[in-house]
Amino acid sequence: MLLASALVVSACSQTKTLSKSEVETQAAAALTAQVGQQSPPITCPGDLEAKVGASEVCAITLDSGVYDVTISVTSFDETSNNATFDVQVATQPRS
């Protein structure tokens, strides 16, 4: 399974990071919209830096195992503190 979705979230602090909970929530919402059914929770290791190129590997648990979910910032507007990022789910479960 491969999913690429653009998401817009607000950076929520002066350190220009996207909160762990906001990234998890928005990634799960995008996956739900893509597949047409409720996404299992996505778990990320921490906040995501709000700068182009920043990324982190999160996880989602499906019936067939735990899959990596890579979230990458593709744009960040410092004026509005909005970031756009892509979400990609690995095609194979973790080993």
Digit-coded pLDDT (tens) for 45-85:
999 998 899 999 999 998 899 999 998 888 888 888 777 77
pLDDT category at 7 given cuts 50, 70, 90 is low
Residues 6+ apart with CB under 8 A from 93: 62, 64, 65, 66, 67
For the chain, the average pLDDT equals: 82
Can you list the positions of beta strands (E) in 1-95?
6-10, 17-18, 42-43, 48-49, 55-62, 65-77, 82-89
* Assessment of whether the complete model's pTM goes beyond 0.85: no
Domain boundaries, the chain: 6-89
Residue with tokens 């929520």: 12
